[in-house]
């Protein structure tokens, strides 16, 4: 290769073949046309990048949308989206009722972002109140106390207070923002503010903070801390109020109840005599003064040296007062429950124990007419007290006044035994079968009558006779005439006392009533 020959060179350019075309242009080509081709190439390149970015954003939005839908479907299986009380027939919907949307994870996320972008003003107000009550600037705190003193001494100034806040906190700062003062210089001698002239600044507006900005995350931090403060305050209030108000300690709750009743009665009579202006003035100054750092240090020292050592003796004195003066010796609530012992007559004429039932199983009882057979348990030991009650007596007692509970229930078609074991028998009328047809009853019921003592019957005449109402009469069983008229069932009533119990545990067997 000669020295005069040109050496070929390879130019590496990140651009594509359009750069080669630009290199191969002739020397007499217009440079403006060359520059325009480069601009077109750059424009196509930027458009291609934007299209790729949009496609990626759309794919990410689609993926997020699919994730939101899947999460929403999952939450629908766990969280009830509708209030069950709205589906009740008695739930009347008012005419001006605005239907609220159900729970939705997408709506929840959007609402949280909107809420967090706008909640900053609340946290700003909270910070200003804390600075005011903690005496960060004593001049502001004293000004607040002066205004509070005027309001306490003249409560009618409360009507002026909202108007003054609107003027001083909103309107005047907004006017100053639109008409700002001129910048001060060293050579200027006048520092007066002029309100004349047109507005030279835009009006101030409150706008939500941008998402993912510093203010947005600052609001999230403040919201997180606010939730923690509320949870701690809620738990602290419950730990103080709950033991003394939920009657877990009945003497303490009774003492508090008595104190509140006496105080309410006193305030009802003497509330118009109380110096409320002075009371509220002292309370406001006291609460505000407690926020001063010096007073807080003094209070901490006083609590450590004086209050804490004496708290235990004071608590013991209060407990001794409660134990001596508050006496809760009332007996628990008691009631009488009943159970009916049912027996059935066999074909041989023997009475066989059947079961214990909560129903007397009389001829016209619903249990007998619907099911045909009594429901209950076989033994006394299987009878359980009603739910929420427990036995206060060890044994069952036989009710010797059978006639009373028969009359109370208006039972007809039975014979009452007023002596002996106090059985109440069914009465079999003419045309009825024996033991095999014991459950079936005729259209009417009747009772026999006779002379003597020992049995009573009540019912209506039946078996083809006229419907004559039979009153209670004395009967006799000396000649055995009553055995032929007795039905296949008899019962007697047992009673037992129960009292309320603290806990309800598993039940079994037949519940007494």
Please give the average per-residue pLDDT across 430-459, as a whole number: 43
- Report the b/e string of 218-239 with b at 16+ CB within 10 A: ebeebbeeeeeeeeeeeeeeee
Answer yes or no: is pLDDT of 139 > 60: yes
Q: What is the pLDDT of residues 375-387, one digit of tens each?
A: 889 888 889 988 8
pLDDT at residue 193 in the model: 74
pLDDT at residue 452 in the model: 34
Answer yes or no: is pLDDT of 130 > 90: yes
Please give the average per-residue pLDDT across 431-452, as a whole number: 40
Determine if residue 215 is left, alpha or beta; phi over 0 gives left, psi from -120 to 50 gives alpha, anything else beta: alpha
Q: Where are the beta strands (DSSP E) in 397-454?
A: 397-398, 414-417, 424-427
pLDDT at residue 362 in the model: 85
Answer yes or no: is pLDDT of 186 > 60: no
Please give the average per-residue pLDDT across 234-248, as a whole number: 92
Paired tokens of 300: 């901490």
Q: What is the pLDDT of residues 261-295, one digit of tens each?
A: 999 999 999 999 999 999 999 999 999 999 999 99
Give the Cβ contact number of residue 38 at 10 Å. Answer: 13
Residue 92 — very low, low, confident or very high, per pLDDT cuts 50/70/90?
low
Answer yes or no: is pLDDT of 313 > 70: yes
Q: What is the pTM of this model?
A: 0.57
**CA end-to-end span of the chain, whole Å?**
125
**Of residues 461 and 393, more confidently modeled:** 393
| E strand or H helix at 475 | strand 469-475
Dihedral angle over CA of 176, 182, 184, 186, nearest 10: -160
Answer yes or no: is pLDDT of 121 > 70: yes
Q: 427 exposed, middle or buried (CB, 10 Å; 0-12, 13-18, 19+)?
A: buried
Answer yes or no: is pLDDT of 24 > 50: no
pLDDT at residue 473 in the model: 37
Please give the average per-residue pLDDT across 388-399, as a whole number: 90
pLDDT at residue 204 in the model: 87
Q: What is the pLDDT of residues 341-359, one digit of tens each?
A: 999 998 888 899 999 998 8
pLDDT at residue 62 in the model: 60
Please give the average per-residue pLDDT across 192-211, as a whole number: 85
Per-chain mean pLDDT for the chain? 77
pLDDT at residue 161 in the model: 92
Q: For residue 455, list its beta bridge partners.
A: 417, 475
Please give the average per-residue pLDDT across 181-196, as a whole number: 69
Please give the average per-residue pLDDT across 384-413, as a whole number: 89
Q: What is the pLDDT of residues 66-83, one digit of tens each?
A: 666 776 676 666 665 555
Answer yes or no: is pLDDT of 467 > 60: no
Dihedral angle over CA of 497, 500, 503, 506, nearest 10: 30
pLDDT at residue 428 in the model: 79
Degrees to nearest 5, angle at CA 300 with 297 and 305? 125
Please give the average per-residue pLDDT across 11-32, as a whole number: 45
Please give the average per-residue pLDDT across 448-463, as a whole number: 42
Which residues, in sequence order, are CB contacts of 291 under 8 Å at separation 6+?
Answer: 133, 134, 135
Answer yes or no: is pLDDT of 1 > 70: no
Residue 166 — very low, low, confident or very high, per pLDDT cuts 50/70/90?
very high
Please give the average per-residue pLDDT across 407-415, as a whole number: 87
Q: Distance between alpha carbon 436 and the CA centroid of its chain, in Å?
A: 58
pLDDT at residue 59 in the model: 59
* Residue 148 CA: distances (Å) to CA of 53, 295, 300: 60, 20, 27
Please give the average per-residue pLDDT across 36-50, as a whole number: 75
Distance CA 295, CA 287 (A): 11
Strand pairing class (486-500; 455-460): unpaired
Please give the average per-residue pLDDT across 250-268, as a whole number: 93
* Of 472, 449, 448, 478, the residue nearest 462 (C-alpha): 448
pLDDT at residue 97 in the model: 67
Q: Percent of the chain, pLDDT > 90?
A: 34
Please give the average per-residue pLDDT across 119-147, as a whole number: 94
pLDDT at residue 52 in the model: 75
């Amino acid at each position: 290769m000669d020295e005069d020959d040109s050496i070929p060179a390879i130019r590496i350019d990140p651009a594509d073949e359009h750069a080669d075309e630009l290199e191969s242009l002739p020397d007499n080509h217009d440079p403006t046309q060359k520059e325009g081709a480069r601009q077109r190439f750059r424009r196509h390149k930027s458009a291609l990048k934007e299209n790729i970015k949009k496609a990626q954003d759309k794919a990410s939005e689609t993926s997020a949308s699919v994730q939101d839908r899947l999460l929403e479907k999952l939450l629908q299986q766990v969280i009830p989206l509708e209030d069950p009380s709205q589906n009740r027939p008695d739930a009347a919907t008012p005419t001006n009722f605005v239907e609220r949307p159900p729970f939705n994870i997408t709506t929840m996320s959007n609402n949280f972002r909107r809420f967090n972008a706008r909640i900053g003003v609340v946290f700003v107000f909270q910070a200003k109140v804390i600075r005011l009550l903690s005496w960060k600037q004593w001049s502001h705190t004293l000004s607040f106390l002066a205004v509070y003193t005027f309001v306490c001494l003249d409560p009618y100034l409360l009507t002026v207070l909202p108007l003054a806040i609107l003027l001083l906190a909103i309107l005047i700062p907004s006017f100053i923002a639109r008409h700002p003062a001129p910048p001060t210089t060293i050579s200027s001698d006048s520092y007066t503010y002029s309100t004349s002239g047109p507005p030279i600044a835009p009006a101030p507006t409150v706008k939500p903070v941008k998402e993912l900005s510093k203010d947005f995350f600052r609001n999230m931090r403040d919201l997180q801390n606010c939730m923690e403060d509320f949870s701690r305050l809620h738990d602290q209030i419950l730990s103080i109020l709950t033991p003394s108000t939920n009657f877990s300690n009945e003497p303490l709750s009774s003492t508090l109840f008595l104190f509140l009743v006496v105080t309410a009665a006193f305030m009802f009579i003497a509330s118009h005599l109380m110096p409320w202006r002075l009371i509220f003035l002292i309370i406001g100054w006291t609460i505000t003064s407690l926020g001063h750092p010096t007073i807080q240090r003094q209070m901490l020292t006083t609590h450590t040296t004086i209050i804490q050592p004496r708290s235990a003796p004071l608590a013991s004195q209060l407990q001794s007062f409660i134990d001596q003066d508050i006496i809760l010796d009332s007996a628990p609530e008691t009631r009488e429950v009943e159970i009916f012992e049912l027996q059935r007559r066999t074909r041989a004429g023997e009475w066989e124990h059947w079961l214990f039932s909560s129903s007397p199983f009389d001829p016209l009882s619903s249990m007998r007419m619907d099911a045909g057979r009594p429901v209950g348990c076989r033994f006394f030991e299987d009878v359980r007290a009603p739910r929420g009650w427990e036995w206060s007596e060890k044994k069952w007692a036989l009710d010797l006044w059978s006639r009373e509970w028969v009359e109370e229930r208006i039972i007809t078609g039975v014979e009452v035994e007023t002596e002996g074991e106090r059985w109440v028998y069914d009465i079999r009328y003419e045309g009825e079968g024996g033991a095999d047809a014991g459950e079936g009853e005729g259209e009417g019921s009747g009772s026999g009558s006779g002379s003597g003592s020992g049995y009573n019957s009540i019912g209506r005449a039946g078996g083809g006779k006229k419907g004559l109402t039979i009153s209670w009469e004395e009967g006799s069983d000396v000649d055995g005439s009553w055995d032929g008229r007795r039905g296949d069932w008899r019962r007697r009533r047992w009673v037992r006392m129960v009292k309320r119990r603290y806990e309800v545990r598993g039940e079994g067997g037949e519940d007494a009533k």
